Amino acid sequence: MAKPAQGAKYRGSIRDFPDFDPNQDAEALYTAMKGFGSDKEAILELITSRSNRQRQEICQSYKSLYGKDLIADLKYELTGKFERLIVGLMRPLAYCDAKEIKDAISGIGTDEKCLIEILASRTNEQMHQLVAAYKDAYERDLEADIIGDTSGHFQKMLVVLLQGTREEDDVVSEDLVQQDVQELYEAGELKWGTDEAQFIYILGNRSKQHLRLVFDEYLKTTGKPIEASIRGELSGDFEKLMLAVVKCIRSTSEYFAERLFKAMKGLGTRDNTLIRIMVSRSELDMLDIREIFRTKYAKSLYSMIKNDTSGEYKKALLKLCGGDDDAAGQFFPEAAQVAYQMWELSAVARVELKGTVCPANDFNPDADAKALRKAMKGLGTDEDAIIDIITHRSNAQRQQIRQTFKSHFGRDLMADLKSELSGDLQRLILGLMMPPAHYDAKQLKKAMEGAGTDEKALIEILATRTNAEIQAINEAYKEDYHKSLEDALSSDTSGHFKRILISLATGNREEGGEDQDKAREDAKEIADTSSGDKTSLETRFMTILCTRSYPHLRRVFQEFIKMTNYDVEHTIKKEMSGDVKDAFVAIVQSVKNKPLFFADKLYKSMKGAGTDEKTLTRIMVSRSEIDLFNIRREFIEKYDKSLHQAIEGDTSGDFMKALLAICGGED
């Protein structure tokens, strides 16, 4: 069993089994595999209840008693994912890592994600043990095999990590911290091109404590987190590797919590990743991973495994997990502190919001108006020319083109575009041509007209717009439809949901900073669910979530976690339902990370059978000049594929071309 550092608390979920008898366990396993069929329940119960050290003793006893190899017998008797999991548990960790890496670089293609996960996360000692185990198991040199199967800066960083020579001194030199910050800045942001060697040297060799201070100072110096610079300066597998290294420097347990979540979310399960992490972390930091998982994703690791797997495979994984953090009495007091630290980090990171559509250089509205007229004149329409012009001009420039078009040709550009285009492309192009407030007003109008109401569209717009944007929408709505937005909402919605929307539609959210004392009071106000009065609870949430400033609400959410050991989202989902729940969750997610909120909406609009073109169009149009670049970053971070790839795989024709132009690039 892995030993914790001196004075540190053991954070694994698997411990040494008391009154351990390796001969007795070997006999029990032999009996379970004897005769026709095998007793899988007995096998999983025994193996998941023993530490790795004890399992090695069982292997030795099994060979002594029966002259047979226990791992070979288990492979013969078991099958599929359950077999891979049990056999993985029977190997020493270093040999388990060696097998994973051998599989990752064998055959056609390379599993870069596996290489990144293992080599970015292991300590110096674990790295040395891995190299030795690989040599022993395969009579090959691991470094030579890595070099033979990878290339470029990705290969160089893997080789550096493989040396296991990261500094381990906890005494940090402030001068060296400042020097490294400057060298990273000069190697990336201040340089034409990127000096990858500096990134490799500093991130591959400095101690974790030193690098955490470097990251803090880098943010203060440059105004952006180191992750943003890595994404901007590096690319491909090298970029993914460096981001993984940074995550592991910040928190190895959080890195693995994210990997586990991604392994199980969406359609299908990445079982190899799930098995590898559950096996390798069960005696190291599984309790920390569980805590972070619950606070970050508002659900327990146990419950996600339970819902995403089946059979003996599921039972064995749940044993390794070690407990359900959503069950009564299972809460960790440390979880609140972990969540609080995560919030503190997010509060410090002030990432600059960037759109993907910028004003065109050398803009000539006269030339653009003539080009658009030519594209629509005569037989047929030149959609490519229309897409190229409109997706590469800012909204303000498009308004100038509209005016110039009318002055030159006495025609309404919007009417001509509507006549010449059709379907999804028409809706997208016309949306881009409208001023943002008028576009939002139209989307709200469409959400409320006809039979039924599109509550999701109402929530998405009203829960995410700033006061200035909301006020502009109100004016546009009145101007275009001769009715106030508040009256329209009152006529089309009801109950607490109506009250929430009307409150948001006033655009009177406070705009100051946080108030520590008031934040504690607000957190206490919404944390009290004991009365069982749902109406009162919804009113309290509305008063706070719809009126307090974003910085203040972030502090409220932190205080809420400290008081309840729960994320506020979890409580909303547990205590509320329907449109009220959806509205409050949208507000909370927008406050926490608005680009991530929109990345999630975009992903859902394109996953599964069919595409929600309305949502896709609405977000791509409305965020193109605000934060679509940030949304792209959140999308690839969470879903392991770029927004560009998702659009390419889920749309087609001219609609796809226009969306990709707005998207602005492949991450």
Q: What is the CATH number of domain 29-90?
A: 1.10.220.10
Angstrom distance (rounded) from CA 332 to CA 11: 12
pLDDT one-digit tens code per residue, 126-176: 999 999 999 999 999 999 999 999 999 999 999 999 999 999 877 788 889
Sign of CA dihedral 190, 192, 197, 203: positive
348 band by pLDDT with thresholds 50, 70 and 90: very low
Angstrom distance (rounded) from CA 294 to CA 304: 10
Angstrom distance (rounded) from CA 443 to CA 623: 14
Tokens of 129: 């043990």
| pLDDT > 90? residue 429 | yes
User: Of the ranges 239-243, 469-473, 526-530, 542-546, which one carries the lowest mean pLDDT score?
Assistant: 526-530
- The candidate with the shortest Cα–Cα distance to 593, out of 547, 616, 627, 560, is 627
Measured in residues, the chain has a length of 667
pLDDT at residue 444 in the model: 97
pLDDT at residue 334 in the model: 54
| pLDDT > 60? residue 498 | yes
| pLDDT > 70? residue 7 | no
- The answer to whether the CB of 340 falls within 8 A of the CB of 564 is no
CA 394 to chain centre: 29
What percent of the chain is modeled with pLDDT above 70?
94
Sign of CA dihedral 229, 231, 237, 240: positive
Would you state the torsion angle of the CA atoms of residues 84, 89, 92, 98, taken in this order, to the nearest 10 degrees? 30
pLDDT at residue 272 in the model: 95
Tokens of 35: 């005769």
Class of 437-506 per CATH? mainly alpha
Of residues 269 and 441, which shows the higher confidence score? 441
- The candidate with the shortest Cα–Cα distance to 323, out of 2, 15, 5, 1, is 15
pLDDT at residue 414 in the model: 96
Tokens of 567: 């994320």
- 3-state class of 358 per DSSP? coil
Class of 594-663 per CATH? mainly alpha
- 110-132 average pLDDT score: 96
Tokens of 52: 């790795």
25 band by pLDDT with thresholds 50, 70 and 90: very high
328 band by pLDDT with thresholds 50, 70 and 90: very low
Tokens of 47: 């193996």
347 band by pLDDT with thresholds 50, 70 and 90: very low
- The answer to whether the CB of 376 falls within 8 A of the CB of 386 is yes
pLDDT at residue 360 in the model: 95
The overall average pLDDT reported for the chain is 90
Of residues 169 and 664, which shows the higher confidence score? 664
- The answer to whether the CB of 435 falls within 8 A of the CB of 421 is no
341 band by pLDDT with thresholds 50, 70 and 90: low
Tokens of 552: 């203040």
Instruction: Assess if CATH 1.10.579.10 describes domain 365-421.
Output: no
- The answer to whether the CB of 267 falls within 8 A of the CB of 257 is no
Tokens of 396: 């303000």
Burial of 555 (0-12, 13-18, 19+ CB in 10 A): buried
Query: 516-592: what fold?
Result: Annexin V; domain 1 (1.10.220)
pLDDT one-digit tens code per residue, 277-299: 999 999 999 999 998 898 788 78
| pLDDT > 50? residue 28 | yes
User: Of the ranges 36-40, 137-141, 155-159, 663-667, which one carries the lowest mean pLDDT score?
Assistant: 663-667
- The candidate with the shortest Cα–Cα distance to 118, out of 304, 272, 14, is 272
Of residues 562 and 496, which shows the higher confidence score? 496
- 77-83 average pLDDT score: 95
User: Within 10 A of 205 (CB to CB), how many other CB atoms are there?
Assistant: 15
- The answer to whether the CB of 200 falls within 8 A of the CB of 166 is no
pLDDT at residue 3 in the model: 47
| pLDDT > 90? residue 389 | yes
- The answer to whether the CB of 130 falls within 8 A of the CB of 122 is yes
Residues 6+ apart with CB under 8 A from 167: 205, 206, 207, 210
| All structural domains of the chain with their residue ranges | 29-90, 253-348, 365-421, 437-506, 516-592, 594-663
365-421 and 516-592 in the same fold = yes
User: Within 10 A of 369 (CB to CB), how many other CB atoms are there?
Assistant: 23
Instruction: Assess if CATH 1.10.220.10 describes domain 253-348.
Output: yes
